[in-house]
Amino acid sequence: MKTTVDIADNIMERSRELARSEKSTFRDLVEEGLLLIIDRRAQTKRNEIKPVTVKGNGLSEAFRTAPWSQIRQAAYEGHGG
């Protein structure tokens, strides 16, 4: 597919020089660059983690003032941990 893109002169010049030095084409550089950006952005989106929240009033009365070790022990109780 053909398209027209405005590219800053200095970027175009550097791209042509790189293509010549690698015995490649400007088109190859553009395609490779676009693929890198597309892949990078797709990967970033896959790695996003949404926070998990629940409704409620916080810890039960039994655990409101308990140390973390007690809360952890209760959470793993019966799970072989």
One-letter amino acid at 80 equals G
Q: What's the whole-model pTM score?
A: 0.51
Instruction: Give the mean pLDDT of the chain.
Output: 90
- Across 33-42, average pLDDT: 92
Q: What angle do CA 46, 50, 56 make, to 5 degrees?
A: 160
Are the C-beta atoms of residues 46 and 38 closer than 8 Å to each other?
no
- For 75, the token pair is 């959470």
Sign of CA dihedral 46, 48, 54, 59: positive
- Across 35-41, average pLDDT: 92
- Across 35-64, average pLDDT: 85
Whose tokens are 């660059």? That residue is: 33
Domain boundaries, the chain: 9-46
Identify the pLDDT of residue 30: 95
User: How many residues does this entry show for the chain?
Assistant: 81
